[in-house]
């Protein structure tokens, strides 16, 4: 392993820390890649200024320089991801977000993963008929990059409890799961809460769900998914439920816990 490879490994091992990235930038300067080093430093400075509501003149200068560097060198810095039919987003100097066609997921092997701290994966199903997610979930479970992911967005799938079976033994530390563009049932919610992969989940996005008592009680209680802080869901309840009906009570607790991001139909 070269010094550069070791520094990249340190970045991937500590993706939240700017220090390994800045150390790598210094190494790039010393090894004839000043533009790549500058790009990393510029994006880190831009990210540090994103918390302010008003863009400073310095931020505008940095953004302009970022665009110049990326326009000239972006394809090179994507490396083997360039031409892979994937859309990528650089964060703090490296590819961190990836949108890819489902059938190309397993093409992303060690060569790409060793050079990019990919944290967010976005996948949209082919076609418009919301196919069953089983085949893609099997690919996801077999993908060697799963353990590194912190955020996953799926669109256009039917995600049932059986379709998640391949993930029952998968390990990882997903912190955000977005299924808002998928068809999800109550038993899916229960199955999601059983996955070790989601033990550290902090944010969950679901679209319309015909929520039943098991799923509602599970989400409201916090006994599963104990680190969940944000839930976005549209609950479709049966009409005419009494105020003290167990399902209505559970959904009321759900709203109390997560606030206005829980939208209830049928009240």
Confidence at residue 106, expressed as pLDDT on a 0 to 100 scale: 85
Nearest Cα to Cα of residue 220 among 238, 193, 181, 187: 193
Supply angle C-alpha 216, 218, 220, rounded to 5. Answer: 65
Supply angle C-alpha 265, 153, 82, rounded to 5. Answer: 155
What's the sign of the alpha-carbon dihedral 149, 153, 156, 160? positive
The model's pLDDT over 75-90, given as tens digits with 9 standing for 90+, comes to: 899 877 766 667 889 9
Confidence at residue 83, expressed as pLDDT on a 0 to 100 scale: 63
Max Cα-Cα span within the chain: 72
Average pLDDT over residues 39-45: 95
| pLDDT tier, 104 (very low <50, low <70, confident <90, very high otherwise) | confident
Structural domains in the chain? 1-86 (no CATH), 119-267 (3.80.10.10)
How far apart are alpha carbons 183 and 134 in whole angstroms? 13
Buried b (16+ CB within 10 A) or exposed e, 64-102: ebbeebbeeeeeebbeebeebebebebbbbbbbbbbbeb
Average pLDDT over residues 173-186: 93
The model's pLDDT over 210-246, given as tens digits with 9 standing for 90+, comes to: 889 999 999 998 888 999 999 999 988 888 888 889 9
Distances (CA, A) of 246 to 185, 209, 219: 19, 17, 14
Confidence at residue 242, expressed as pLDDT on a 0 to 100 scale: 87
Confidence at residue 86, expressed as pLDDT on a 0 to 100 scale: 75
Q: Are 215 and 243 in contact (CB under 8 A)?
A: no
* pTM assigned to the model: 0.89
């Amino acid at each position: 392993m070269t010094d550069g490879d070791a520094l990249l490994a340190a970045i991937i091992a500590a993706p939240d820390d700017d220090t390994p990235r800045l150390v790598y930038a210094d190494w790039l300067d010393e090894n004839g890649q000043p533009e790549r080093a500058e790009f990393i430093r510029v994006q880190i400075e831009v990210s540090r200024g994103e918390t302010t509501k008003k863009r400073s003149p310095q931020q505008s200068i940095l953004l302009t320089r970022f665009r110049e560097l990326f326009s000239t060198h972006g394809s090179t810095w994507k490396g083997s991801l360039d031409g892979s039919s994937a859309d990528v987003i650089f964060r703090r100097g490296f590819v961190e977000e990836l949108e890819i066609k489902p059938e190309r997921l397993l093409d992303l092997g060690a060569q790409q993963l060793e050079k990019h701290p990919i944290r967010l994966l976005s996948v949209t199903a082919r076609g418009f008929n919301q196919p069953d997610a089983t085949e893609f979930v099997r690919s996801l479970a077999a993908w060697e990059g799963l353990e590194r992911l912190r955020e996953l967005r799926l669109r256009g799938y039917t995600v049932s409890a059986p379709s998640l079976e391949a993930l029952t033994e998968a390990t990882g530390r997903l912190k955000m799961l977005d299924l808002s563009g998928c068809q999800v049932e109550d038993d899916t919610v229960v199955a999601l809460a059983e996955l070790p992969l989601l033990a550290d989940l902090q944010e969950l996005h679901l679209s319309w769900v015909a929520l039943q008592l098991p799923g509602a009680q599970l989400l409201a209680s916090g006994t599963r998914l104990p680190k969940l802080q944000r839930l976005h869901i549209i609950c479709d309840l049966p009409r005419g439920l009494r105020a003290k009906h167990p399902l209505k009570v559970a959904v009321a607790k759900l709203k109390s816990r997560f606030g206005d991001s829980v939208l209830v139909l049928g009240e």
